[in-house]
Chains A and B, each alone.
Chain A
Amino acid sequence: MTMLAVDVKRTLPNFTLEVAFSSDGTIALFGPSGSGKTTVANLIAGLVKPDAGRIVVNGDVLFDSTQRIDVPAHKRRIGYVFQEGRLFPHMSVARNLDYGRRMNGLPRDDNDHDRIVAMLNLGHLLTRRPGKLSGGERQRIAIGRALLSKPRLLVLDEPLASLDAARKAEILPYLERLRAEKLPMIYVSHQPDEVRRIADHVVRLEGGRVAAAGGVELLG
């Protein structure tokens, strides 16, 4: 079964997005800014609604305009790591990490929790508030928070874009570990070197359309 099949159309006043692709494993949405990468990520997560089309994840139809199916974002089980972390400032790191589990009504899973906290090296941060953490720490927590909601697919939208080179080097190994764990991922980026380290498949977008789809050789 194909992990992800997308065929969507969305028209804005001065931009038309018309994108179709299907793939497995770790998929990179690659392209220059303004090519529609983030919009595609938002459409898959359910934050933006397509005008028409179909989105299927692991055989589950999340959106189908002809069948009038539109699963709301909170029922899609798609973890989303945003460019700017978006941690909840009024909660401790531990509460942030636990948020998805509580909202989904999942039972406590200490093994999973401890494994992810150890993998992302978050143990010493649990009692802190997000306000005064470094960009790299915040982004690791954001990744942990998304993972702990037990998503069936993880969307990462330029998770390294707001970090400096040293912080990027700090986060990349964690992302490579996720790839090694075979968690289905969509990685949005315009950096070929990042994509090469993280993705198996590449969908190259240009001006709201798929310019090419295939392996990492597309990165040139």
Chain B
Amino acid sequence: MSAAAHADHTHDHDHGHDDHHNPSFLRKYVFSTDHKMIGMQYGICGLIFLAIGFILMIAMRWSIAHPGEIMPVWIRTLLGMFGKGFMDQWAPNGVMDGTLYNMFGAMHGTIMVFFGVVPLGVAAFGNFVMPLQVGAVDMAFPRLNMWSFWLFLVSGILMFGSFFVPEGAAQSGWTNYSPLASTVGAHSPNPWLHGQTIWLLAMVFNISASLLGAVNFITTVMNLRAKGMTWMRVPFFSWAMMVIAFLLLLAFPPLEVAALLQLSDRVFGSSFYLPTGLYVNGQHLDISGGGSPLLYQHLFWFLAHPEVYVLILPGIAICSDIIPANTRRPLWGYKSMVGGVLVLGFLSFIVWAHHMYMTGMGQSISTFFQFTTVMISVPSVILLTCLMISLWGGSIRFTVPMLWATAFLPMFGIGGLTGLPLAFNMIDLYLHDTYYVIGHFHYVVAPGTIFAMFGGIYHWFPKMSGKKLNSFLGHLHFWPSLICMNLIFAPMFWQGMAGFHRRWYNGGLGFPETSKGYLHLNGLMSSAAFWLAAAQLPFIINLVYTIFFAKKVNDDNPWRATTLEWATPTPPPHGNFLIEPVANRGPYEYAAPGTTDDFIPQWAPLNDYEKAHGAKELPETPKAPAHTH
């Protein structure tokens, strides 16, 4: 059958040729079309943005714990990334005020979600690992892949650049609810030069980038799977990447609509989200009115709820590779996990309005979304439970990636379980916009996804560079991070239940009755945040040290793992495989019978035991055209 696929290829037209010559530096490292290089570019950008978002958080936590006090020199030094002019404008005396806090708050959320976690978790790991895992030579559309990265970079530069326009960056929270976000700075002489407008433009670029990436991911998984890589042999990681790509593909366009309509409100003066008779700063706005802020929320959350799963699924996906490799057992419940992730993907499209219980959209609608929200916890629990049971009875190697993966399980568990009460209308009315919600979703994303991504970096770094990250520094990174994360986020549940509002820039000083008895926690949480910053230093040292000074390990499969990415040379060359990649069996054949080793990789030829139990050889590939690898 695949003979037809090869026979008609044209071999003399230009595009297939690039790899036969030594590509120039620009083509190899900058305008690369190679999925691995693009993955690394995304990864580096993602890490940089995570660091930026983290620094914003540090400054905010200072303001919460020490409101009105001058920021210490080390925080001011970190904020030096914005330059002197910025600080002279927004924090002239070195004290953070409400405006700067709002700016940092909005941008912390935006940068972490759209420019940190998604690019690192989905675009970086997905780009680097997924094509290797399914046994593809590259992504289906390498040049679109390059465009995806460059559009992303443009969006990132625009977003970061929005700090420096005269009116400063967006200040209306990462959700950018209208009418506030539609009208903030509406009186400025040039609405295009307001951070809020630039936020919207940057998101249009970001969405285009993710659209190209999503099309590429799905086509690659569907159409470029290697010989023998039937659907039930595709590793869970790649399944999850495909589901994520579907979420990005279908959920992002409504956000684009939301952004375009808000952009129109801001710069063309329309009233999509602005009701009749709106007063701002004691002035009747010169608008036609007749719109609805609810429309924005619907469009926004139609994206942003699936986005939550875009944030968490990479974490689960990465753990599903790390855990079997280190417990030396097959992934427990692979099929139910695949089913679970598909159901999860579908359900994530019909739960969005549980973010909107407070809007008074009506009881019956609230009840519907309450129902679907409780329902979606079922596949989530399936995924987490399968990962947990996978640990059972394994002879676990607590390598550094495994540490992160095992920590991920309870951390994500806490994040998920604390979300359940929020699904219920009557509880959410009380907890809405409190620190309880902040604690809940940070447990999911920070010690959840980010821990898993650290695990992923330690896990795949040997494949990317041929060098293993230092284990001692890895421990020094992991343990303080684990402790600090919990010290930051666990107290948020208590504060939230006491009624602490998420947008208080002074940590609750203005509300002595509400904050009574819980105010002292601010100091503890902020100190933990500062120590968490220190805990990232070993990681940075580790990266620099390993890249420049560590010795190469001559091993293509250092973890003794089974999936196809470990069948490539290290680092994988352009075109990936020297052998023809095949999948002779499922992806998690650890502790399998019929071998003296404790694992059989997917690409290993069938052994006698398997043959005796009915496994059939894959048909011979017809002779490949002369110059393909």
Q: Do A and B bind each other?
A: no
- The chain A residues found within 8 Å of chain B, CB to CB, are none
- Report which B residues bind A (CB closer than 8 A): none
